[in-house]
A and B are shown apart, each in its own frame.
Chain A
Amino acid sequence: METAASPTSQTGTAASAAMLPTEWRDFFTLTKPRVMTLVIFTAICGVLAAPGSIHPVLGFTAILAISMGAGGSAALNHWWEADLDAGMKRTMNRPLPGGRMRREDARDFGIFLSGVSIVLMGVAIDWLAAALLLVAVIYYAVIYTMWLKPRTPQNIVIGGGAGAFPPLIGWVAVTGEITAMPVLLFAIIFFWTPPHFWALALFVQSDYAKVGIPMLPVVAGEKVTRRQIWWYTVALAPIAIAPWVIGGTSWIYGMTAATLSALFLLLAWPVGRRSRTDDDKMLPEKKLFKFSIYYLFALFAALVADRVAAYQGWIA
Chain B
Amino acid sequence: MTPEEETEYRRRRKSRNWVVAGALLFFVILFYAITIVRIGDA
Please report A residues at the B interface, Cβ cutoff 8 Å. 19-24, 55, 57-58, 61, 64, 124
Contacts and interface: CB of A to CB of B under 8 A. Distances in A.
Given A57-B34, A58-B34, A58-B37, A23 B15 contact: yes
Given A19-B5, A24-B16, 17 more contacts: A19-B1, A20-B5, A20-B8, A20-B9, A20-B12, A21-B12, A21-B16, A22-B12, A22-B16, A24-B15, A24-B19, A55-B37, A57-B33, A61-B30, A124-B31, A124-B34, A124-B38
Contacts of A124: 31, 34, 38
Interface in B1-21: 1, 5, 8-9, 12-13, 15-16, 19
Contacts of A23: 12, 15-16
Nearest to B12: A21
Q: Is the interface of B mostly helix, strand, loop or mixed?
A: helix
Contacts of B31: 124
Contacts of B8: 20
A58 B34 CA distance: 7
24 contacts: A19-B1, A19-B5, A20-B5, A20-B8, A20-B9, A20-B12, A21-B12, A21-B16, A23-B15, A23-B16, A24-B16, A24-B19, A55-B37, A55-B41, A57-B30, A57-B33, A57-B34, A57-B37, A58-B34, A58-B37, A61-B30, A61-B34, A64-B30, A124-B31
Interface of B: 1, 5, 8-9, 12-13, 15-16, 19, 30-31, 33-34, 37-38, 41
A122 B31 CA distance: 13
Contacts of A57: 30, 33-34, 37
B19 to A, nearest CB: 4
Contacts of A19: 1, 5
Contacts of A55: 37, 41
A61 B31 CA distance: 9
A31 to B, nearest CB: 13
Nearest to B10: A21
Q: Which of A23, A24, A61, A64 has the most CB of B within 10 A?
A: A24
Nearest to B36: A57
A24 B21 CA distance: 12
A24 B30 CA distance: 22
A190 B5 CA distance: 48
Contacts of B37: 55, 57-58
Nearest to B31: A124
A61 B36 CA distance: 14
B6 to A, nearest CB: 10
B15 to A, nearest CB: 6
Closest 7 CB pairs of A and B: A24-B19, A21-B12, A57-B33, A124-B34, A55-B37, A57-B37, A24-B16
